[in-house]
Amino acid sequence: MQAAGIVVDQTLAPRLLYRNAEVFMRRAPARGPGFFMVVALVVAGCATDVIVDDGTTDPDSHDEDDGEHDILLSDPDVPDRWLFVAATTVGQVARTACSTAGVRPLSEQLLTEVECLRPGTLARIDNIANVSLGAGALPKLNAGAATALRNAVAGAGTLAISSSTRATAQQYVLYHWYSNGRCTGVVSLAAKPGRSNHESGVAIDVPAYATWKSRLTARGFAWFGSGDAVHFDYRGAGAVDIRPLAVKAFQRLWNRNHPGDRIAEDGVWGTGTASRMDRSPAGGFAIGPQCGVTPPPDPPPPNPPPQTATLQGVIYEGSDTAARIAGATVALGTGRSTTTSSSGQYEFTGLAPGPYAITVTATGFRAATATRTVAAGADNWGSVSLTRGGATGSLIGVVYRGTDTSARLAGASVRLGSGQTATADASGVYRFAAVGEGSVTITASAAGHLARSITRTIAPAAENWGSVGLSQGQALESQCGGIGAAGECDGAVVAYCHDGELVTVDCAAHGGTCGWNDAESYHDCR
C-alpha cells in the first residue's frame, strides 16, 4: 500500500522518518548544479491488503487479510532527478530511478484495459469538486467508491488524496526496489504485483483522516484504524476488487503487441509475466487498450532460435573506469577482433556460449589478457584494464577555490586515473614527477568543497599543467565516510552520499559503466 506523500515541490523527495500519523518536513541539500531537493510532507503509509465484501461490515473497523503489505516512506511517484541513464522499459525504471513516474503512461493504459475487461468498474475522480490528488494518485477509483466520495465531499472543504488506485506496472517497480534493497528512502516493504491493496481499486489514503473520518465512514468507507490511520477501504454497494483483473490486463496488452511471444491470460503473476513486464515500454505499448476485441488464439510455439551470446565491455586505464581508452584492439581467441569506440566500449555478438580468451592492445599501453565465459540470454561483461608503458611527462597544477586562482587550497588531495595520488602544498600546488603519456583524469578534493575531475593529455618529456577549481559546499558525511554528494566510481559501481546515507548502484547490472558527468559535476552510470 502507498504511503501518503503530499509533495509541495516537483522534484525528488528526501528520505523522511516513518512514523504513524505524524507529519515531518525537512529540506535536503542539493547535489550538483541546478539540482533542487524537495520539501515533502509524509504521514503513515498503508500496511494492509483489502477484503471487499457486501458492505455489511462495521465501517469503524477494518479486518486484516493474509495478503502481502506495502510500507512506503515517501511518495514514490514524485519525478526523479534521473541520476542514471534515461529509462525506456519498466525494468530500467526499476533499476535506475527512485520514482514510479516513468511508468505512469503504461499504468494508465493498464487501468483502461481493466475497464475493457469489466466495463463500469472504474470511474474518474479528478473531476470531483473539492478533491485534490497527489503526485502518486492515479485519477481512477471503483465506480461505487467514486460516487460515495463525491457525496462525502459535497458541501465540505477540500479532501486531499495522496494514493488511490495503483497499476501493476507501478507495483512491479516498488516490489523490485524492496526485493533488491533499492530506494530504501522510499520503500521498506512492498507486495508482489497483483497483491497490493491499492491495486484493488477501492482504497484511498487521506492525510487529513481525522477531519474526514466521519463523513467517509458514513458513505461506506471503512477506516483501518490507528494501525494505518490514513487508509480507508470502500466496502459499500458496488465495491469490486480488481486485483485479479490487474495482472490479466497487462497479459492482454503484452499479447496484443507481441503475437509471437504470447503468455497465458490467466491473471496469475508468475516468472513469465514478470519477465515481460520488465521488458515492457515504460511509455506505454504501441497498441493500447481495445475494448470488445476478442484476442486471437495462441499460435503454436515457434522453433527455438539457435543459442547465441553477446560479450561486451569497456577498456580503461588503471583503476579508473572513467578513463576510457578509444581505438584499443580487442581480439578473441577464435580470431574475431574489434576496436573500441570513442567511449572505450566494444561488443561481440552471435557468439557460441562458452569460455573466451580476450587480448587487448593499445598504443602507449601494455597488452592485457582476460578470460570470460559467456552464456546465452545473459549480460556478459568483459571489461579490461590497461597500464601505461613507454614515455612519461611531469604533471603540475594548482588547486584553488571557485574561479579565483589566487585562493589556493593547501592540503587538497589529488588523484589520477592511473591510481597515483598527491597532496597540494602550502601554496596549493601539487606535482607528479612521472605520468604516462596520453589522456589522464585528474580528481581534486578538499574539505568543505565538492570534488571535481578534469581530463588532460600528458605530453612525454614535458611539463604538463592541470589546475583544478573547486566549488564550496559541504560534502554529506555520515555512514558515507569520505564519499561526498558528487560520488566516486569503484570499478563499475557508483557510490554517492545522499542525506547522510551511502548509496551504491552497480552500473554493469543494467548495461552501463560508471564515469564522471562533466555537465552536472557528479559521478553516475552511463
Q: At what angle do helices 168-180 and 271-279 cross, to 10 degrees?
A: 100
286 lies in some domain: no
Percentage of the chain lying above the pLDDT 90 cut = 34
How large is the average pLDDT for residues 42-69?
Answer: 38
Mean pLDDT of the chain: 78
Give the tens place of pLDDT for each residue, 432-479.
Answer: 988 877 777 898 999 888 888 888 888 888 999 999 999 987 544 455
Same domain assignment for residues 166 and 191: yes
256 lies in some domain: no
282 lies in some domain: no
CB 84 within 8 A of CB 512: yes
Same domain assignment for residues 362 and 417: no
- Of 10-19, 431-440, 446-455, 514-523, give the range with the top mean pLDDT: 446-455
Same domain assignment for residues 499 and 416: yes
| Spatial separation of the C-alpha atoms in residues 493 and 513, rounded to whole Å | 8
How large is the average pLDDT for residues 295-309?
Answer: 70
- The cell numbers describing 424, all together, are 597540494
83 lies in some domain: yes
pLDDT of 253 strictly over 80:
yes
26 lies in some domain: yes
Same domain assignment for residues 315 and 380: yes
Residue where one domain finishes, among candidates 208, 226, 244: 244
Residue where one domain finishes, among candidates 217, 244, 271: 244
- What is the domain range of residue 218? 3-244
| Spatial separation of the C-alpha atoms in residues 203 and 35, rounded to whole Å | 34
Could you report how far apart the first and last alpha carbons of the chain are, in Å? 33
Same domain assignment for residues 155 and 55: yes
Same domain assignment for residues 444 and 318: no
Identify the weakest region by mean pLDDT among 64-73, 174-183, 404-413, 436-445: 64-73
How large is the average pLDDT for residues 428-433?
Answer: 93
Identify the weakest region by mean pLDDT among 338-347, 383-392, 397-406, 453-462: 383-392
Give the angle subtended at the CA of 35 by the CAs of 31 and 39, to the nearest 5°: 95
Residue where one domain finishes, among candidates 187, 222, 244: 244
| Torsion angles phi and psi, residue 55, rounded to 5 | 90, 5
CATH number at residue 413: 2.60.40.1120
Q: How many domains does the chain have?
A: 3
Give the tens place of pLDDT for each residue, 91-107.
Answer: 988 888 888 888 889 99
| Torsion angles phi and psi, residue 404, rounded to 5 | -90, 100
410 lies in some domain: yes
Same domain assignment for residues 179 and 236: yes
Same domain assignment for residues 451 and 317: no
pLDDT band at 356 (very low <50, low <70, confident <90, very high): very high
Same domain assignment for residues 377 and 487: no
For residue 273, CA distances in Å to 181, 193, 252, 280 come to 22, 10, 11, 11
Same domain assignment for residues 82 and 115: yes
Same domain assignment for residues 496 and 517: yes
Same domain assignment for residues 371 and 403: no
439 lies in some domain: yes
pLDDT band at 25 (very low <50, low <70, confident <90, very high): very low
CB 46 within 8 A of CB 77: no
334 lies in some domain: yes
- Rounded to two decimals, the pTM is 0.46
